[in-house]
Amino acid sequence: MLTLLPLLACTDGDEPDRTTGDSAADSGIADTADTADTGALADLEPCGFTPMTDLDAAPDVVEVNLTASNFAWDPGTGIPLTGGMAFNEAVPGPVLEAKLGDRVRVHFVNDTDIDMSIHWHGLRVTPEMDGIQQMMGDPVSPGETFEYEYTIVDGGFYWFHTHMNTATTIEAGLYAPIVLHVPDEVAPDCDLPVVLDDVLLDEDTWQIAPPDTAMMKLMGRLGNVLMANGRSGRRVAWTKGQTTLLRLVNSSNARYWDLVLEGHTMTVVGTDGGFLAEPYAVDHLVMAPGERYMVVVEARGEAGESYRLMNRRVQLHEEDGDMIEVDPMGNGENPVMSFVYGVGEVVGAGWRQPAPDVPAWGAAVENLGHHWVLEEDMMGGTVTIDGAAWPDVPMVDVPMDVDATFEVENKSEMHHPFHIHGNRFQVVDVGGEAVAEGQGWKDTFDIPPRTTVRIVSALDNPGEWMYHCHILEHADGGMAGMMTVMEE
């Protein structure tokens, strides 16, 4: 079975031990070394993370260095990927941690041989900091630098990634998590970001497979190695009684994940844009590319027991449709990572739900901002929005601070994850059915085949913003457009 290493959250300048996966800093989780005999427990990694080094001592400023470079990393096969890339020589890149109200400064260096821009996925930053203006005309060229600076206006869990040649560079490893705390947040016993990804490797060389087949551009790129935090085979130490907050993000090019944690219940406490007013328990969790969920798990196992986080296949196309879809991982369940209990028991901190910042609607409003239509031409090999492909998709103009319903109609036989930059919204209706659970802020959501989804937003962040399918091959292939949020 495949197993996975925990998040290698390294401080700037620290290179993780690629043999053990150990971080250079203490995770803050109780030491389990005295409970591990030898062998099976010896390779466990602590449950937690270490953020990037903050270069500014001011309590309300986070200043970090970030370098993108060509970097050979091991996805768990034992063979480094010579075509890999990384932020600060780690995959995923190091965790950017801040709190509500902080001013963040990122000194970015492009040490690769291609143009770059960084998108802070889900953050309500200003347009010039979103990475799209660079993508459209002023990229960070090889050897150049750029200063990203913005204020944190929302708490929750986010991620950052490249936004040029996105399908290729994210597959290569250029992505990382963002943890943003709110004032009344009480730390759980373990706070663990988990970046879910798959990589497609050539089975002869075990290197990244060529990305540009015509079918792959239309179907999306599904990998044959599942990874959590950059590795297959990850094993994380748990202690009975502790509470773990798993911050999950799907960074895959096209794979939808359907997660099951053996022997445990997951309680969803937050979505893309922050914490929920009413958490809810699930026995499985489906995540579209780009989506995030925060879930709480109470550790109730016994010493020596191991429980796997499993992924079940999600069919991207209608099962009775025209397309024959083959998943390199097969049709069954596959292990993603394991949690292994050490000896002993702790009195955990439990979980206290932070005060929510939830949307005010719950249902569609009369004012229709726009009706998007997503289509595919299987014979022509094209994907479109509103009948056109980027950059020819008509601009959408909407007023700022006016409650409006937006409809996204998927006329194709394939799922499409839809992402809107720079603003947040609430999903209120899927195929005519009201959303009953998880009424929180979103920036990325699934549009099932032959289905219309309705969202509501006041669009309170002005400027020109990109929206696109977050199947990365589709975004690069033209399923993208721009929306202007206009100030009065």
Q: What percent of the chain has pLDDT over 90?
A: 82
Q: How distant, in Å, are the alpha carbons of 80, 151, 446 from that of 276?
A: 40, 22, 19
- 48-62 burial, b at 16+ Cβ within 10 Å, e below that, comes to bbbbbbbeeeeeeeb
Do 190-345 and 368-486 come out as alike in CATH topology?
Answer: yes
> Over 80: is that where the pLDDT of 19 sits?
no
For the chain, the domains span 33-181, 190-345, 368-486
- List, for residues 225-251, the tens digit of each pLDDT value: 999 999 999 999 999 999 999 999 999
- List, for residues 160-188, the tens digit of each pLDDT value: 999 999 999 999 999 999 999 999 899 99
- List, for residues 274-324, the tens digit of each pLDDT value: 999 999 999 999 999 999 999 999 999 999 999 999 999 999 998 776 667
- List, for residues 454-483, the tens digit of each pLDDT value: 999 999 999 999 999 999 999 999 999 999
> What are 312's two structure tokens?
């079940």
Residue 400 gets which letter from DSSP?
T
As a whole number of angstroms, the distance between CA 446 and CA 418 comes to 6
Region 366-385: mean pLDDT is 92
| Identity of the amino acid at 240 | K
Contacts of 43 (CB under 8 A, 6+ apart): 20, 235
> Over 80: is that where the pLDDT of 353 sits?
yes
Degrees, nearest 5: CA angle 231-91-214: 85
Q: Structure pTM?
A: 0.91
Residue 216 pLDDT level (bands cut at 50, 70, 90): confident
Lowest average pLDDT, out of 105-114, 194-203, 216-225, goes to 216-225
- CATH class (in words) of the domain with range 33-181: mainly beta
Residue 16 pLDDT level (bands cut at 50, 70, 90): very low
What is the per-residue pLDDT for 451?
Answer: 98
| DSSP letter string, 294-309 | EEEEE----TT-EEEE
Nearest one of 226, 434, 198 to 334, comparing CA atoms: 226
The three-class DSSP label of residue 364 is: coil
> What are 106's two structure tokens?
């990122």
The mean pLDDT value of the chain amounts to 90
- List, for residues 197-212, the tens digit of each pLDDT value: 999 999 999 999 987 6
CATH number of 368-486: 2.60.40.420
Region 78-103: mean pLDDT is 98
> Over 70: is that where the pLDDT of 25 sits?
no
What is the per-residue pLDDT for 5?
Answer: 31
Region 147-159: mean pLDDT is 97
Q: How distant, in Å, are the alpha carbons of 150, 239, 363, 418 from that of 57?
A: 17, 34, 44, 38
What is the per-residue pLDDT for 18?
Answer: 26
What is the per-residue pLDDT for 8?
Answer: 32
What is the per-residue pLDDT for 26?
Answer: 28
As a whole number of angstroms, the distance between CA 283 and CA 225 comes to 24
Helix extents (H) in 141-251: 166-172, 214-219
Nearest one of 382, 390, 442, 392 to 417, comparing CA atoms: 442
CATH 3.40.50.720 fits 190-345, yes or no: no
Query: Cβ distance 139 to 115 under 8 Å?
Result: yes
Query: How does strand 225-228 pair with strand 285-287?
Result: unpaired
